[in-house]
Amino acid sequence: MSKVALIFAHPRLEDSKIHKQLLQVLPKSPNLTFHDLYENYPDFVIDIDREKKILLDHDVIIWQHPVYWYSCPPLLKQWMDMVLEIGWAYGPGGNALEGKRVQSIVSTGGPEQAYQEGGNNRFPLEQYFLPFEQTARLCKMEYLPLFSIKGSHRISPEQLQEKKIEYRQCIESLLELNNTSYGK
Amino acid sequence: MENNFLVDAVIYLAAAVVCVPVAKRLGLGSVLGYLMAGILIGPFVLGFVGQEGKDIMHFAEFGVVMMLFIVGLELEPATLWKMRTSVLGYGSLQMVGTTLCIFALMLFLDWEWPSALAVGMAFSMSSTAIVLQSLKEKNQLNLPSGTNSFSILLFQDIAVIPILAMLPLLAKDGIVDDDTHHTFLSAFPAWLQTFGVLLAVGSIIIAGRYLIVPMLRFISHTHLRELFTATALLIVIAIALLMQMVGLSPALGTFLAGVVLASSEYKHELESDLDPFKGLLLGLFFLAVGASINFNLILARPVLILLSTLIVMAIKMGVLYIVGKRLKLAKDQHWLFTFVLSQVGEFAFVLLAFMAQVRLVNSGQNDFLMAVVALSMLFTPLVLLVHERIMIPRWANRMNEEQESDVENNQHKVILIGFSHFGSTIGRFLRANNIESTILDNDSDRVLLLRKMGFKVYYGDATRIDILHAAGAETADIIVVGTGTPETNIDIVKLVLKHYPQARIMVRARNRMDAYEFMDLGILHIYRETLDAAIRVGVDVLGLMGERKYSAFRTGQKFLKYDNQSMKKLKAHRHDMNVYVNKAKEEIARQEEMLADDKDKLKGLSSDVAWDSEYMRDMILQPRTK
């Protein structure tokens, strides 16, 4: 059993199509902490100590957000800048997050075909998430394979329903991961 | 007759126009200026004005009535209710104490007890006109000494009524055959009189709520400014008349009406319309007091009258000192309170005249007592001058001595003026950021308290150039003007603009109207003191209602920005209420549109795809791809 922290970043959840639906099917588990960045820090002033404690208290970290300009919304970037301190998360003596796992759960407007060679965005989505992967690596964490919902602006209700089930299963499996730390 | 009126008018106005600016320039205050002008044109110097001075005085007492109306406008009913203990408790302490002391003195001097008691009561009065005018001129009305002085004066105003009722009873023969104090109600039995009084007071309160405000609204729609002024005058005069009919003090009645109207939207309008009348009438009143000082009598018995005046004032000060002690006023406030109320007031003229009518005093005694009253009024500004020029600077020096060296060494680049909750928050914030500022405040209580808490606070009145200079204004980068009194802030801003142009000014404004005045002065950094907090409440309401906090926060920030922008546009129209209201409506509508527009833009982010090139291409090339 693992403890999972879902770090959620969406500047306009009230008008969202995908994420609002996803959050409805989050499993109710005492081991899952839903942490809504835009709701907690509307003024972008992040409580670093509180965030560090959340990270320390959990084994798996989820970064869930829509993809804006091939990246995350600004508050999540701000969160990384402020919370992942040198000497704590990385660098000399920075071992606080060692062995934890990270997964990005994201949605994109562009469909699968756009994210490939010859497509509109030319590269697979995974490539755009290399900075996130490397961030996790630098902090001695394991970056799990990307979970994405693509083509969200035209998704049919049936497809979305399918994705919701996948999403729930994904989080349930994260909760069931055994807690052996990953590669030292 | 007509010529006489014009000549009189020229004499009075000329005397005022010459003497008052001179007195102000010399730092003597306008009250002393008017009094001097009165003496100058009175029968004993130039002789332009004869005995009619007294009639003019009665007429000009109306200035006091207007003053109390305006004071009432500044006081919301809740504030008045909060003052009840200090009005009743300390007001009665002052009156009873002074009356008893003077009563005892008069008995000792072999006066008969009824006359002695009557004089005691008359002399326990202080001058509302002089006290309020002096305090207002120095922006001291909001200091502890100012509010407590006002409480005492209010009690005296109320006490005049029972005293007038008591005087005939004190008179030996008990006959009243005067017509000046013959009221409409005095023919009726006592219970009916009481009923009449209650009815009059009740009708003022009800009329204020349900008649006057709708009337003002109607009048303001006529777009005739002078009609509004006429209405304002009508309100005050009608209430004064009503009060006279039922035998109450007109000043008290208009004060009450002022309090009732304090929360109406026409408060500022009424204030600004009546202010010139009040000022002129009060000026006339002081002139008349000056002109009526009987120097022949004083010159005949100079030592006796001077001595009597000084003894009366000393007694009054003694009692006031004790009252001030019980009020736990700080040293400078305590002495200001003691000094400012030390004269015998204009009500004493009324009471003395009435006492002569009921033969409690003979005419010789009356003249003598009148001279004492007038002289005490003349001395008040002088006593205050001693307080301001000699005592205050000495305390200031003593209080600031221990820290004097710091001022010189550090030469802080920031000066904070006014260290109330507003200023102290700024001070704490700056100190947390390692910016030491020079702090100025004129409330010695607060200065001492804050020093105990470790702040470097200096005591001094920042409307004075020497104090600003001592605080290092000429080397300051930033001067934050943050006292709780808008008038003081304006005075300080003007001083700084004139003498310390290098300093950037940041100023606290109470509301929009204040902010406009600062904008007129060319100030760039204006902070409406309640704006940010109010918007934050609005943002939190949205949050608690379930709106996303980030969206609410953004809306709040945008609102703040738009509000400041719209203020700049509305500034030009503020003098015409109707245009202003229309323009304000337009601005509010525009503001709402812009905020809605902003939300729409944010909506673009909603489906997580606004930026997405695929999506954009679909949007633009939709016909072709389909």
Give B530 to chain A, closest Cα distance, Å. 20
Are residue B289 and residue B368 in the same domain, yes or no?
yes
| Interval B23-50 mean pLDDT | 79
- Inform me whether the pLDDT recorded for B540 exceeds 50: yes
Query: Measuring CA to CA, which residue among A126, A30, A12 is closest to residue A73?
Result: A12
Its domain, for residue B239, covers 5-177+189-393
Q: Do A19 and B605 touch (CB under 8 A)?
A: no
| Interval B147-163 mean pLDDT | 84
- Inform me whether the pLDDT recorded for B572 exceeds 70: yes
Give A87 to chain B, closest Cα distance, Å. 26
**Residue B617 resides in a domain:** no
Query: B41, B291 in Cβ contact below 8 A?
Result: yes
Q: Does A108 touch chain B (CB under 8 A)?
A: yes
| Interval B104-114 mean pLDDT | 88
Q: Do B614 and A114 touch (CB under 8 A)?
A: yes
Cα A2 to Cα A182: distance, rounded to the nearest angstrom:
13
Are residue B138 and residue B162 in the same domain, yes or no?
yes
What pLDDT does residue A62 have?
97
**Residue B516 resides in a domain:** yes
Are residue B498 and residue B354 in the same domain, yes or no?
no
**Residue B440 resides in a domain:** yes
Query: What percent of chain B is predicted at pLDDT more than 70?
Result: 88
Query: What DSSP line would sit under A87-132, residue for residue?
Result: TTTBSTT--TTTT-EEEEEEE-SS-GGGSSTTSTT-S-HHHHTHHH
CB count, 10 Å around CB of B344?
31
Interface of B with A in 575-614 (CB under 8 A): 602-603, 605-614
Are residue B387 and residue B495 in the same domain, yes or no?
no
Q: 3-class DSSP state for residue B415?
A: strand
Q: 3-class DSSP state for residue B574?
A: coil
What Rg do the C-alpha atoms of chain B give, in angstroms?
Answer: 29
What pLDDT does residue B371 have?
85
| Interval A42-65 mean pLDDT | 95
Q: How confident is the model at residue B604 (pLDDT cuts 50, 70, 90)?
A: low
**Residue B446 resides in a domain:** yes
What pLDDT does residue B52 have?
63
Query: Measuring CA to CA, which residue among B160, B184, B197 is closest to residue B355?
Result: B160
Question: Each residue of B340-381: pLDDT tens digit?
Answer: 999 998 778 778 877 887 888 887 888 888 888 888 888 888
Give A169 to chain B, closest Cα distance, Å. 23
Are residue B143 and residue B230 in the same domain, yes or no?
yes
In the numeric block, the tokens 């326990």 are attached to: B124
Cα B382 to Cα B387: distance, rounded to the nearest angstrom:
9
Question: ∠B232-B237-B243 over CA atoms, to 5°?
Answer: 130
Structure tokens at B542: 């949205």
Nearest residue, CB atoms, A107 vs list B553, B608, B614: B608
pLDDT: is A116 or B76 the higher one? A116
What pLDDT does residue B578 have?
76
Q: How confident is the model at residue B156 (pLDDT cuts 50, 70, 90)?
A: confident
User: B331-340 vs B128-137: helix axis angle to the nearest 10?
Assistant: 140
Q: Do B615 and A66 touch (CB under 8 A)?
A: no
Query: Measuring CA to CA, which residue among A98, A116, A110, A94 is closest to residue A150?
Result: A110
What pLDDT does residue B400 have?
65
- Inform me whether the pLDDT recorded for B1 exceeds 50: no
Question: Each residue of B439-486: pLDDT tens digit?
Answer: 888 777 777 777 777 777 777 778 878 778 878 888 889 999 998 888
Q: 3-class DSSP state for residue B196?
A: helix
| Interval B324-336 mean pLDDT | 84
Q: How confident is the model at residue B164 (pLDDT cuts 50, 70, 90)?
A: confident
Q: Do B609 and A109 touch (CB under 8 A)?
A: yes
Q: How confident is the model at residue B624 (pLDDT cuts 50, 70, 90)?
A: very low
Q: Do A153 and B607 touch (CB under 8 A)?
A: yes
| Interval A12-41 mean pLDDT | 93
Q: Do A121 and B613 touch (CB under 8 A)?
A: yes
Question: ∠A171-A176-A177 over CA atoms, to 5°?
Answer: 100
Cα B392 to Cα B333: distance, rounded to the nearest angstrom:
10
Give A39 to chain B, closest Cα distance, Å. 5
Report chain B residues whose CB lies below 8 A from the CB of A38: 548-550
Are residue B568 and residue B528 in the same domain, yes or no?
yes
Cα A172 to Cα A182: distance, rounded to the nearest angstrom:
19
Final residue in a domain of this structure, among B365, B393, B421:
B393
Q: Does A120 touch chain B (CB under 8 A)?
A: yes
What pLDDT does residue B530 have?
87
Residues 6+ apart with CB under 8 A from B403: B456, B458
Q: Do A17 and B612 touch (CB under 8 A)?
A: no
Question: Each residue of A145-159: pLDDT tens digit?
Answer: 999 999 887 889 999
Query: Measuring CA to CA, which residue among B290, B372, B378, B306 is closest to residue B45?
Result: B290
What pLDDT does residue B619 have?
55
Query: B74, B262 in Cβ contact below 8 A?
Result: yes
- Inform me whether the pLDDT recorded for B391 exceeds 90: no
**Residue B207 resides in a domain:** yes
What Rg do the C-alpha atoms of chain A give, in angstroms?
Answer: 16
What pLDDT does residue B58 have?
72
Final residue in a domain of this structure, among B393, B427, B446:
B393
Q: Does B532 touch chain A (CB under 8 A)?
A: no
Q: Does A78 touch chain B (CB under 8 A)?
A: no
Are residue B94 and residue B204 in the same domain, yes or no?
yes
**Residue B456 resides in a domain:** yes
Nearest residue, CB atoms, B605 vs list A12, A108, A114: A12
Measure Cα distances from A97 to A107, B5, B293 in Å. Answer: 26, 94, 91
- Inform me whether the pLDDT recorded for A183 exceeds 50: no
Are residue B235 and residue B330 in the same domain, yes or no?
yes
Bridge partners (DSSP) listed for residue A66? A107
Q: Which stretch, A126-130, B225-229, B512-516, has highest mean pLDDT?
A: A126-130
Are residue B104 and residue B212 in the same domain, yes or no?
yes
Whichever domain contains B141, its CATH number is 1.20.1530.20
- Inform me whether the pLDDT recorded for A140 exceeds 50: yes
What pLDDT does residue A179 have?
65
Bridge partners (DSSP) listed for residue A142? A101
> Domain total for chain B?
2
Final residue in a domain of this structure, among B393, B428, B459:
B393
Query: B153, B126 in Cβ contact below 8 A?
Result: yes
**Residue B626 resides in a domain:** no
Question: Each residue of B397-420: pLDDT tens digit?
Answer: 666 665 544 444 456 789 999 888
Query: What DSSP line would sit under B396-411, residue for residue?
Result: HHHHHHHHHHHHHHH-
**Residue B32 resides in a domain:** yes
Question: Each residue of B499-537: pLDDT tens digit?
Answer: 899 999 999 998 888 899 899 898 989 999 889 999 999
Query: B16, B283 in Cβ contact below 8 A?
Result: yes
What pLDDT does residue A75 have?
96
* Dihedral angle sign, alpha carbons of residues B307, B313, B319, B322: negative
Structure tokens at B493: 């801003």
Report chain A residues whose CB lies below 8 A from the CB of B554: 42
Whichever domain contains B436, its CATH number is 3.40.50.720
Burial of B391 (0-12, 13-18, 19+ CB in 10 A): middle
What pLDDT does residue B361 have?
84
Report chain B residues whose CB lies below 8 A from the CB of A110: 609, 612-615
Are residue B378 and residue B345 in the same domain, yes or no?
yes
| Interval A23-42 mean pLDDT | 95
Nearest residue, CB atoms, B606 vs list A16, A40, A110: A16
Burial of B263 (0-12, 13-18, 19+ CB in 10 A): middle
Nearest residue, CB atoms, A13 vs list B548, B552, B614: B548
| Interval B267-283 mean pLDDT | 82
Q: Does A124 touch chain B (CB under 8 A)?
A: no
Query: B569, B562 in Cβ contact below 8 A?
Result: no
**pLDDT-wise least confident of A59-68, B4-13, B485-494, B513-522:** B4-13
Query: What percent of chain B is predicted at pLDDT more than 90?
Result: 14
pLDDT: is B588 or B92 the higher one? B92
What pLDDT does residue B331 have?
77
**pLDDT-wise least confident of A15-29, A84-98, B140-154:** B140-154
Taking CB atoms and an 8 Å cut-off, how many pairs form between chains A and B? 89
Q: Do B607 and A18 touch (CB under 8 A)?
A: yes
Reported ipTM: 0.84
- Residue B345 DSSP one-character state: -
Query: Measuring CA to CA, which residue among B523, B417, B509, B401 is closest to residue B463?
Result: B417
Are residue B506 and residue B362 in the same domain, yes or no?
no
What pLDDT does residue B405 have?
41
pTM of the model: 0.56
Report chain B residues whose CB lies below 8 A from the CB of A40: 549
Nearest residue, CB atoms, B549 vs list A42, A121, A152: A42
In the numeric block, the tokens 């030009």 are attached to: B572
Structure tokens at B561: 């920005």
Are residue B511 and residue B381 in the same domain, yes or no?
no
